[in-house]
Amino acid sequence: MIPNNILTELFIYYARFPKREGILPLFNVGESTIPGYTGLLDVINSLQEHSLTKIKNYIFGANIEAIKARVKNIPAGSDFLFVDFGEIDCDTDTRNRNTDSTSLAITVAYRVKSFSADLIEQALAFSHTLDDLTFIRNKMIVDQREHPWLKSISNKHTFVPFIAPEMSCIGWTMMFNREGYDSFEAKKHS
């Protein structure tokens, strides 16, 4: 059984954008004793809506070493969608409601051949990745009616250049928050 929480919702939602063959390398263990592994793979293989962009690869996670290893396996000239989740802040508001805020970022980047040698290659990579990232953002706004967790994303989205010389990658990152009430059902368990 797949856990039903913000992380699996994020993984499945953004898996619709890159090519399906770029998602499957994330399941590199083959089999796992962690519940939900096979179920999540089945969901990805049965997605009706997939490959919404030409992005070739998918990276999901917060483990920087695993992310670097995955990027190093992406050939120069290929792009990727990277979904990063950050801290989750939990609080109680003035009406005694449990509130949650999750920091999220999605990046579209190219792995370039020679990081500093060709400024035109970099400019084109920035241009293409910005186009892909704005397409994803616009799709998120349209999809708010169909995906309840998207209704809670912040109206403010910040785009920043993504420059990672150690991985020979450049592109754009969009940062935003998801605001919600009692996402972890604390009231239900109290």
Task: Tell the burial category of 13 from Cβ atoms under 10 Å away from its Cβ (0-12, 13-18, 19+).
Answer: middle
Phi, psi of 14 (to 5 degrees): -75, -15
pLDDT in tens, the chain (190 residues): 788 888 899 999 999 999 999 999 999 877 889 999 999 999 999 998 889 999 999 999 999 999 999 999 999 999 999 999 888 888 888 888 777 888 899 999 999 887 766 888 889 999 999 999 999 999 999 998 888 778 888 888 999 999 999 999 999 999 998 887 666 555 665 6
How do the domains of the chain map onto residue ranges?
A: 6-181
Instruction: Give the bridge partners for 107, in sequence order.
Output: 82, 173
Task: Tell the burial category of 139 from Cβ atoms under 10 Å away from its Cβ (0-12, 13-18, 19+).
Answer: middle
